[in-house]
Structure 1
Amino acid sequence: MSALISLDRLSLLISTHPATFAAIALSILFLLRKLFDAHTRKSFEKLYGCEKAPDESDRFKYDILGISKAIEFASHLKDQTILSYTDSLFQRYGETYTSNILSQPFVLTCNAKNIKHLLSTGFKDFDISALRKHLFDPITPHGIFTVDGPDWKTNREGLRGRLSNLRQLIDFEFLEEQFQMYLKHVPPHGEKFDVQACNFALFTDLQTFFSLGESSNSLSSTQTVAQRQFVDDLSTIKDCIVRDGFRGPLHHFSSKKEFFRACERAKDYVIERTTQQVRKRRNAVMKIGTEDSFEGTESEEIAVSTDQALSILIANDTMGTTLSAIFFCLSHNGHVTEKLRASIIETIGMEPPTWTQLGSLVYVRWVICEGKSTALRTSL
């Protein structure tokens, strides 16, 4: 009887005060979610012996919904001070800390071991496609950035196979041509220039040649209108992905018309060239009479190759950023530059290198690793 009365009162509340009922229901759901998240986190900490990461409660003690944090974050985005802001928080809370933006829990880290575990050795343990899907779905709907679990593992194996044999991938003659074009953009008398723009252009040319069979010619005066449009579209896509990734839930309030148009044009450009490559490869397999390594139709192979190519090109800035970080380190450490030059001349001399010689450049590897660690906070 009491249950029927309660149901009647609930029905009356819904019909007479729908807004009040909605507010109460949302509040209950919010509290239940917070309790569930807290229980899940406690269980995880107990299972693996983890310590609770520092949080921002000292600055946002009563900001339960994360509204003040969102306003502060948006302010730095608007003022283009997000990198210095992020770095100051790492200095304050350590290499790993938690935050709350619009009731969404975030874990932020610049710790190399954590990032390696997240992106490589332990990636399969994380279900984070929901956080990335809205960023990458328009450009790589089935790529490695938008899937988890078995699909992610399949994607990774495909990319690993595509990237594994460097001797087949790298054309020394083409690399020399690209380097000579790069040098044309360097002022001859030590004037200042935008080295990062040149680095990004260099790696875009290298990666398009590797992924699509033709360079985008960003460093060349022979770049076509279609190639220039593709490079511009890639830049628009990456800028939007980074911007909306930083904004988190705030990305819903920004226009994405130009982003979607850029995605469509870029996909059409890649599909056209991937189709040519796939058909060329399949025809070669038929002529030789060997077993095809790809188990699927031509259209399926084109779709997979397109996703792989776009995934590689979208992540291209990581290499450009690393090279820029290396140049930054070298410009502030003249003795390292001299030692690097001497080690290369001692190992290779003034002639074109061989694969064996490249593999023995130990000091070069050390410099690259130092550049990677320097670039870490800005690239992620």
Structure 2
Amino acid sequence: MNISRLPLVAKAAALLTVAYILYQIYIQLTIGAKRRAFQREKGTLPVPWLYTLKDRFMGVDVFMENMKALKARNILALGKSRFDLQKVRTYRMVMLGRDVFITIEPENLKTIQAVDFKKWSLGSRRKTAFRPLLGIGIFTSDGADWQHSREMLRPNFARSQVGDLATFERHVSHLVEAIPTDGSTVDLSEMFFRLTMDSATEFLFGESTESLTKGSSEGFSDAFMRSQDFVANNSRWGSWAKLFPANKQWLADQKFVHDFVDYYVQKNMAKRSELLREKSNAEKSGRYIFIDEIVRQTEDPIRIRSELLNILLAGRDTTASLLTNVWDTLAKRPDIWSCLQSEVAKLDGKAPTFEQLKEMKYLKGLLNESLRLYPVVPVNSREALEDTTLPLGGGPDGSAPVFVPKGQVVSWSTYAMHRRRDYYGEDADDFKVERWLDDAETGRKGLRPGWEYLPFNGGARICLVSDSSPVKAIQTDIFKGQQFALTEASYTTVRLCQAFSKIESRNPSPWTESLTLTCVNLHGANVALKL
């Protein structure tokens, strides 16, 4: 071909084509050769493609199918059905031009989150989507930034009085007072989100929003929830989200959320000199205030705000979502309500201690089962920082290791994994508290799951209060980094059971997913409670 005879545009196109071909040849001879040798050494096999995928270039067909399912509130169920119908545990697909592996293999998740933790990141698209709202914090960063957050926050969690239930008692008493006792319908979900906002802001800022008594939190809750919805949607579009300008509502909500937290940041920064002279605010007042401890460690107001928002998201939304799912179930399952009331009755109406909560086996099984079927973080992903492998998923039967090139995204569905019949039995879709309990008569042991049960993820990212290795910590206590949320959910459930003897469901609809950054029942927990 004589390029000199072609028009200018055609010349440019031809030169670009030639350059691309030469680049691909170079890649195949250099990086490609190394990768092929690496794959031979590790014995990896290709991951099977998603059987419904037709567009392997952009994956527009699967993306549109996902968006339709998201709108219909059944995207989690769709994800599970793909594994069931294809009869694999790992498959490959393309989403808007991005190659993605989807897996529900526990060994793969153990590798990603613990064994080879340093080889994986949150991924550029997730950080780009989350940071405009949450900033650089413990749940939105990798590498040095994440390590800095971890070292800054871990001692504070170790000192925090998650076992001191006095704060919970005050806010739960407000919750009980706000619930009608005349048999009228109340949406406990709305109240749970107010409860967890009140307790989280007191723990974080030293001042509660008192939304249960005031009836609002000055608009913060609504702005925070709408912001999460916007961020979650942007993360699904990835780099294509740049094509959609930020709307006025999002910008207003973002500013409201930041201004709300900045008020407390500036207030506490003003007394930093006084805080530095004290060892701990807990020693002075007997009360632990999270922001004071952070202010002692950094003068960066943006970093302080970011860490507070990161912890607020984890402490408020996960707990409220868990409580909503639990109480929707309790209202629809008189058998579970009766068993739970029998266990709570052993307290003789007294508020439980932290030690007593830990000994309540049925309550723990109830929370575990709710988190199994309705995990509050039902999907997640990581991006490879270097060429690496996963132990399972390759080949027709998924038993071979998988080559994962640098930049490859691996996503997983906790929702689908928690419903695997080979782990949880043929009744895996059924809500059975008993699967977690020991049976003294038959000698049957309750579930003691490992990496196949990850309601809060695993590895280093949940072990803020542990100095153990990520693997040992997760095997010892998967809830270690989530003690605050689980303690609050347990305490709230017990006190409500003590306050009310009867419950009636006012919501005939089945559990329906409402997915933002966390997941909760779309229909809330509409019930009637009686003394």
Cross-structure match for 2:259 = 268
For the residues of structure 2 that align with 1:116 and 1:14, how far apart are their CA atoms? Answer: 56
Indicate if the aligned counterparts of 1:213 and 1:277 stay in contact, CA closer than 8 A.
no
For the residues of structure 2 that align with 1:97 and 1:143, how far apart are their CA atoms? Answer: 32
TM-aligned CA deviation for residue 239 of structure 1 = 1.0
Indicate if the aligned counterparts of 1:136 and 1:145 stay in contact, CA closer than 8 A.
no
Equivalent residue in structure 2 for 1:133, among 80, 105, 127 = 127
Q: Relative to structure 1, is the Cα distance of residues 46 and 330 closer, same or farther in structure 2, using a 3 angstrom cutoff?
A: farther
TM-aligned CA deviation for residue 60 of structure 1 = 1.9
Asked if 1:335 is matched to 2:335, the reply is: yes
Q: How does 1:147-186 map to 2 (within 5 A)?
A: 147-167=141-161, 172-186=165-179
- Which of the two has greater helix per residue? 1
Instruction: Map Cα deviations across residues 10-61 of structure 1 (whole Å, 9 max, x no partner).
Output: x8769332673487479759978998999898778767777755531x2124
TM-aligned CA deviation for residue 349 of structure 1 = 2.5
Which stretch of the first structure deviates more once superposed, 261-270 or 69-78?
69-78
Instruction: Map Cα deviations across residues 323-346 of structure 1 (whole Å, 9 max, x no partner).
Output: 222224434443332222222332
Q: How does 1:135-284 map to 2 (within 5 A)?
A: 135-167=129-161, 172-221=165-214, 223=216, 227-257=217-247, 258-280=249-271, 282-284=273-275
TM-aligned CA deviation for residue 139 of structure 1 = 2.2
Q: How does 1:70-81 map to 2 (within 5 A)?
A: 70-81=63-74
Q: TM-score, normalised by structure 2?
A: 0.58
Q: Show structure 1 runs of 5+ residues with no match.
A: 1-5
Indicate if the aligned counterparts of 1:216 and 1:231 stay in contact, CA closer than 8 A.
no
Secondary structure of the residue that 1:55 maps to in structure 2?
A: coil
Instruction: Map Cα deviations across residues 257-314 of structure 1 (whole Å, 9 max, x no partner).
Output: 3323322321222122023234446414426799x987987623x4433221110123
**Residue type matched to 2:264 in 1?**
R
Secondary structure of the residue that 1:210 maps to in structure 2?
A: helix
Indicate if the aligned counterparts of 2:201 and 2:207 stay in contact, CA closer than 8 A.
yes
Secondary structure of the residue that 2:203 maps to in structure 1?
A: helix
Secondary structure of the residue that 1:139 maps to in structure 2?
A: helix
- Which of the two has greater strand per residue? 2
Q: How does 1:1-380 map to 2 (within 5 A)?
A: 9=3, 15-17=8-10, 20-21=13-14, 24=17, 53-56=47-50, 58-93=51-86, 96-109=90-103, 118=112, 123-167=117-161, 172-221=165-214, 223=216, 227-257=217-247, 258-280=249-271, 282-286=273-277, 299-300=299-300, 302-315=301-314, 316-346=316-346, 348-376=347-375, 377=415, 379=518
TM-aligned CA deviation for residue 71 of structure 1 = 2.6
Instruction: Map Cα deviations across residues 224-251 of structure 1 (whole Å, 9 max, x no partner).
Output: xxx4222222112111122223344553
How many matched pairs? 365
For the residues of structure 1 that align with 2:99 and 2:308, how far apart are their CA atoms? Answer: 32
Secondary structure of the residue that 1:349 maps to in structure 2?
A: coil
RMSD, aligned CA: 4.1
Secondary structure of the residue that 1:265 maps to in structure 2?
A: helix
Indicate if the aligned counterparts of 1:136 and 1:241 stay in contact, CA closer than 8 A.
yes
Q: Show structure 2 runs of 5+ residues with no match.
A: 282-291, 376-414, 416-512, 520-531
Instruction: Map Cα deviations across residues 68-100 of structure 1 (whole Å, 9 max, x no partner).
Output: 222323333445543443343344345543321
Q: TM-score, normalised by structure 1?
A: 0.77
Cross-structure match for 1:3 = none
TM-aligned CA deviation for residue 138 of structure 1 = 1.0
Q: Relative to structure 1, is the Cα distance of residues 53 and 138 closer, same or farther in structure 2, using a 3 angstrom cutoff?
A: same
**Residue type matched to 1:142 in 2?**
I
Cross-structure match for 2:502 = none
For the residues of structure 2 that align with 1:269 and 1:320, how far apart are their CA atoms? Answer: 21
For the residues of structure 2 that align with 1:131 and 1:13, how far apart are their CA atoms? Answer: 40
For the residues of structure 1 that align with 2:280 and 2:81, how far apart are their CA atoms? Answer: 61
Q: Which of structures 1 and 2 has the larger relative contact order (alpha carbons within 8 angstroms, sep 6+)?
A: 2
Indicate if the aligned counterparts of 1:96 and 1:111 stay in contact, CA closer than 8 A.
yes
Q: Relative to structure 1, is the Cα distance of residues 241 and 288 closer, same or farther in structure 2, using a 3 angstrom cutoff?
A: closer
Q: Relative to structure 1, is the Cα distance of residues 14 and 286 closer, same or farther in structure 2, using a 3 angstrom cutoff?
A: farther
TM-aligned CA deviation for residue 371 of structure 1 = 1.6
Secondary structure of the residue that 1:106 maps to in structure 2?
A: strand
Indicate if the aligned counterparts of 1:102 and 1:249 stay in contact, CA closer than 8 A.
no
Secondary structure of the residue that 1:272 maps to in structure 2?
A: helix
Indicate if the aligned counterparts of 1:14 and 1:21 stay in contact, CA closer than 8 A.
no
Percent identity between the two aligned chains: 22
Q: Relative to structure 1, is the Cα distance of residues 222 and 29 closer, same or farther in structure 2, using a 3 angstrom cutoff?
A: farther
